[in-house]
């Protein structure tokens, strides 16, 4: 839509409030609102001011003034507000230089798309994430100088099999057996369906929804693939929708990668392909998994740079409680057709040229999609540019390999510190085309080190009392 069309759309739908939204560096949607009378065509060029020093990963207090530039193509009605509200997703701009802000994640993703086109390799990169999540009935946590606790609960949780629920109607989902029982075991069918219908209401196409493997309400809703920036926009809206639909039902959604011990974590398998002139560049009939040389080199770059990529795509300390052997965790840096224990899987559901794609399985939904998708694509493009050959594909259960064969398979980082170390040492591929800048890399590493790794490292873990209290 043009700015003029957005204003007409708002008027036709009785909009009273305009909500300006943007993404902070870690990946959380931020917003503030104004009355509809302030929405004029020149606002889409001049923008609206905000305090950048209060946003994580943005400005220092002496350089706090920043500007939001609304993107008219993102205009949609908020399906949850009581007062009719128009949502506009924005980019961030510096009011002094009038340049787009280097740490704005959406701008980084836009630069990645521009770099792809300028490279001549492809016109379009398609991304299709499968963001899993848990739906809980209760979540509590606390930490102070002398105590710590967390507790999650779900009516489906197998630990509630013996709870007096007056009456307990059973049908609790056993650990690792949530894929795909019908109701009444799957108690969340209608809730997920309401999420799907709301997603469609805001213009997001949905392919499928289902219960996931984990007990206690693990779920997945797959939305249709889209171009890089548009898919990141969709995924942020997706999170907003499923959280708010759950909240309306008296439940909560978490995209935390590993909220439950000894059961499956929540991943975000990311399907991706490159196209040029309407042709899928990843398809070549008669090869292994019908992959083209370009697709194989893309995989080579993705696997070579995976440790650094995962600093953005599996960016929390909790991410690496999921990336452990078992639980279908994709920790092995190889590729394979059909094999879900590989970091890169080639889906084989269809022989269609249009359906050919790769699936990168190590990311999780705690990531900022603008940064994660951009980092994945930049790694793949580096593989194409340098014709990086991936390791030989393995079509066996990677957890049952002979010790000699297993020793040859490299793995994802063991923790966030290793991922950040890899990013610190290996980020030249991200700097091409000025997509990521050194400032962004340094800010990301410092933020994660100080606010997450050090914050966890300094606090005693409850299990340490079981191990060490009697030393």
pLDDT in tens, 11-42: 999 999 999 999 999 999 999 999 999 999 99
Q: Which two tokens stand for residue 311?
A: 């600093």
Cα–Cα distance, 429 to 135 (Å, whole number)? 38
Q: Is the four-CA dihedral 460, 464, 465, 471 of positive or negative sign? A: negative
Average pLDDT of the residues of the chain: 95
Q: Are strands 76-77 and 358-360 parallel, antiparallel or unpaired?
A: unpaired
Decide: helix, strand or coil at residue 63: helix
Rounded alpha-carbon distances, angstroms, from residue 16 to 10, 21, 35, 37, 211: 8, 16, 6, 8, 38
Residue-wise pLDDT for 436-460, tens only, equals: 999 999 999 999 999 999 999 999 9
pLDDT at 196: 98
326 near 176, Cβ under 8 Å?
Answer: no
pLDDT at 235: 98
pLDDT higher than threshold 90 for residue 350: no
Which of 84-88, 143-147, 236-240, 309-313 has the least mean pLDDT?
143-147
Specify the residue for token string 């809703």: 221
pLDDT at 6: 98
Diameter of the chain measured on Cα atoms: 71
Binned at pLDDT 50, 70 and 90, residue 407 comes out as: confident
Cα–Cα distance, 325 to 323 (Å, whole number)? 7
Which domains are assigned to the chain? Answer: 3-101 (3.10.20.70), 124-147+224-229+253-468 (3.30.590.10)
pLDDT at 91: 97
Q: Based on the number of CB atoms within 10 Å of its own CB, is 126 exposed (0-12), middle (13-18) or buried (19 or more)?
A: buried
Residue-wise pLDDT for 192-250, tens only, equals: 999 999 999 999 999 999 999 999 999 999 999 999 999 999 999 999 999 999 999 99
Cα–Cα distance, 448 to 419 (Å, whole number)? 11
pLDDT at 80: 98
The whole model's pTM is what? 0.96
pLDDT higher than threshold 80 for residue 293: yes
109 near 195, Cβ under 8 Å?
Answer: no
Cα–Cα distance, 342 to 319 (Å, whole number)? 17
Q: Which two tokens stand for residue 471?
A: 């030393």
Q: What are phi and psi of 132, to 5 degrees?
A: -85, 160
Extended strands (E) in 338-459? 342-346, 358-360
Please give the positions annotated as active site: 51, 130, 132, 212, 220, 269, 340, 359, 361
pLDDT at 79: 98
pLDDT higher than threshold 90 for residue 287: yes
């Amino acid at each position: 839509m043009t700015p003029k069309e957005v204003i007409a759309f708002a008027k036709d739908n009785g909009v009273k409030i305009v909500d300006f939204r943007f993404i902070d560096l870690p990946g959380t949607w931020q917003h503030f609102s104004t009355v509809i009378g302030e929405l004029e065509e020149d606002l889409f060029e001049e923008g609206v001011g905000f305090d950048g020093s209060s946003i994580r990963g943005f400005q220092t207090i002496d350089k706090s003034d920043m500007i939001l530039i609304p993107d008219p193509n993102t205009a949609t009605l908020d399906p949850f507000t009581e007062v009719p509200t128009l949502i506009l997703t924005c980019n961030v701009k510096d009011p002094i230089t009038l340049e787009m802000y280097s740490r704005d994640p959406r701008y980084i993703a836009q630069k990645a798309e521009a770099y792809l086109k300028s490279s001549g390799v492809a016109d379009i990169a398609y991304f299709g994430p499968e963001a899993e999540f848990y739906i809980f009935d209760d979540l509590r946590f606390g930490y102070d100088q002398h105590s710590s606790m967390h507790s999650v609960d779900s009516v489906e949780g197998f630990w509630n099999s013996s709870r007096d629920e007056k009456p307990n109607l059973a049908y609790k989902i056993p650990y690792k057996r949530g894929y795909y029982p019908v109701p009444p075991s799957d108690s969340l069918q209608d809730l997920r369906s309401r999420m799907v219908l709301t997603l469609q209401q805001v213009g997001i196409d949905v392919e499928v929804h289902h219960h996931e493997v984990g007990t206690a309400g693990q779920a997945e809703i797959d939305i249709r693939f889209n171009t890089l920036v548009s898919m990141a926009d969709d995924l942020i809206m997706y999170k907003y929708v499923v959280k708010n639909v759950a909240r309306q039902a008296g439940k909560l959604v978490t995209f935390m990668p590993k909220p439950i011990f000894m059961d499956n974590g929540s991943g975000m398998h990311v399907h991706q392909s490159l196209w040029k002139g309407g042709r899928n560049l990843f398809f070549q009939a008669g090869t292994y998994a019908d992959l083209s040389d370009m697709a194989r080199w893309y995989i080579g770059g993705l696997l070579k740079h995976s440790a650094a990529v995962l600093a953005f795509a599996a960016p929390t300390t909790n991410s690496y409680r999921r990336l452990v052997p078992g639980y279908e965790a994709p920790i092995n840096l190889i590729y394979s057709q059909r094999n879900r224990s590989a970091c890169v899987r080639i889906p084989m559901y269809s022989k269609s040229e249009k359906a050919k794609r790769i699936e990168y399985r190590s990311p999780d939904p705690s990531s900022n999609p603008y940064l994660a998708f951009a980092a994945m694509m930049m790694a793949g493009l580096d593989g194409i540019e340098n014709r990086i050959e991936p390791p030989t594909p393995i079509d066996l259960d990677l957890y049952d390999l002979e010790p000699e064969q297993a020793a040859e398979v490299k793995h994802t980082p063991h923790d966030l510190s290793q991922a950040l170390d890899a990013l610190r040492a290996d980020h030249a591929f991200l700097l091409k085309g000025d997509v990521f800048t050194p400032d962004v890399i340094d800010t990301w590493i410092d933020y994660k080190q100080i606010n997450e790794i050090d914050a966890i490292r300094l606090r005693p873990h409850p299990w340490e009392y079981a191990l060490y209290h009697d030393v």
